[in-house]
A and B are shown apart, each in its own frame.
Chain A
Amino acid sequence: MSGSRARRQAVVTGLGVVAPNGVGTEAFWKAVQQGEFVLGPVTREGCTELPLKVAGEVAGFDPADLVEDRFLVQTDRFTHFAMAAADMALDEAHLATDPESPFAIGVVTAAGSGGGEFGQRELQELWGRGPQFVGPYQSIAWFYAASTGQISIRGGFQGPCGVLCDDEAGGLDVFAHAARAIARGTDAMVAGATEAPLAPYSAVCQLGYRELSLAERPRGAYLPFTADACGFAPAEGGAMFVVEEAEAARRRGAPVRAEVAGHAATFTGTRDWADSREGLARAAKAALAEAGCAPEEVDVVFADALGVPAADQAEALAISDALGRRAASVPVTAPKTGFGRAYAAAAALDAAAAVLALEHGVVPPTPNVAEVRHDLDVVTGEARSAPLRTALVLGRGLMGCNAALVLRRAGDGPH
């Protein structure tokens, strides 16, 4: 893979974000940089009586402002997020389909929750009023593939399309998928992940996760790397990117936001979070090797930060295994402690924060986290200014997938 990637380098030329702490890249970055804390009570209809009390809800998002009715009626909220974020990313990249070459752009998304709200509504019609009251769009709206399909149809993107249903790690794996499509000849990929798990059926499904935080106080719900870690608070939203072949971007004068320098994925199952240490370390090492990046060159780590003591310990050890001596001094951050963990979209939001951090030369803080119990330089409190060239983003799934992504500041080739 690295041979062909060297010839056709994948770069990020646009990003779009719909997150609990901000809709739009600017609002998101402002909140992330300031370490804004927006976790709060779950208020979505049908969810308020559940044992799950704290989550990151997206506020101030009206899909009708951003997406045509005909796409809204046939899609779930997670696809509304995806279509809106894809539009933002395409706007930033000044990219649209060329009717002369519709196969030049493809789409890949990751999703772990699917269209639970839409699906529940239709199933309630099925059992409440009968099969003749179930709308035909049920056949496509609940499905994990819905966002990829609708972005492709709506934008006229007929290049390679894919969907990853591989856990939280999917939000990083989409970059590898996009880079591979680009290496094989596609000019650009619309890639990313969005989730809308804050609906009754979806929320009830999550109650089976022992890692889910059932804390009642927002400030006490999601505290990774601390002695008070008690699981994670879920969130909705996500991020979409335009990943483009570097030369194609240069030809059309599109500014390069970051290089997709390396990626690797592993699987360590669900037996024990301690097992994720080796998987995550191997993924990080392989991603750095693909990027041609030595551990000393990693300027910031965006941690998975699950918030379960054994998982946090495994991640701290994995960072140490992968980075050696650099592990104790590299700034580690987890902006998601401010707004929650949006399953596959959590990793995509981390990638968005990483691109913005590299651009601004700022390591954003880990909101609401103070006393770190691991041998890591977790950035708490204020953001830290630093010249950043290389970011390592880590992601782990509740079902055992691990992934690492290396992003490099635009114009800073391998050293």
Chain B
Amino acid sequence: MTDALNAPAQGQVTFEELAGLMKARAGLTVDPARMAADPSTTFEELSLDSLGLLGIVAELENRYGCRIGEEAETCRTPHAFLANVNAQLANHR
């Protein structure tokens, strides 16, 4: 789990895909490039609440056919979230 949190955000799920999910599941318009450029930006600053993040996790699970561990839902930043999710997806394959 420590590895997953420290891993870089690059991986199967991109910032573009995350931004698309934030739009579809939580009604938020977010620039993926800006999200990628600033690792310190939090979901809270982007107005994504915990239920919104939960919906995104569920959608990713459905898309990739893989259960995503609960710690992903507790990530505070998009960078930490993608690092966690992508590490889990990589392990799954």
- Chain A positions within 8 Å of B, measured between CB atoms, are 68-74, 132-133, 135-137, 139-140
Contacts and interface: CB of A to CB of B under 8 A. Distances in A.
Contact of B51 (A68, A71, A139): A139
A69 B58 contact: no
Contacts of B27: 68-74
A137 B29 CA distance: 18
A132 to B, nearest CB: 6
Interface in B39-91: 47, 51-52, 54-55, 58, 61-62
A139 B52 CA distance: 12
A136 B58 CA distance: 9
Contact of B55 (A68, A69, A135): A135
Nearest to A73: B27
B28 interface: yes
Given A69-B29, A73-B25, A132 B62 contact: yes
Contacts of B28: 69-70
Contacts of B47: 70
B18 interface: no
Contacts of B55: 135-137
Contact of B26 (A74, A132, A133): A74
| Chain A binding surface SS class | helix
A135 B58 contact: yes
Given A136-B52, A137-B55, 18 more contacts: A69-B23, A69-B28, A70-B26, A70-B28, A70-B52, A71-B27, A72-B27, A73-B25, A74-B27, A74-B51, A74-B52, A132-B61, A133-B58, A135-B55, A136-B51, A136-B58, A139-B51, A140-B51
A64 to B, nearest CB: 10
B49 to A, nearest CB: 8
B26 A73 contact: yes
Nearest to A72: B27
Nearest to A133: B62
A69 to B, nearest CB: 3
A211 B54 CA distance: 42
Contacts of A71: 27
Interface in B11-26: 23, 25-26
B73 to A, nearest CB: 10
B51 A137 contact: yes
Contacts of B54: 136
7 A-B pairs with the lowest CB-CB distances in the bound complex, closest first: A69-B27, A73-B27, A70-B27, A136-B51, A136-B54, A136-B55, A135-B55
Residue from B26, B27, B28, B55 whose CB has the most chain A CB atoms within 10 Å: B27
B80 to A, nearest CB: 20
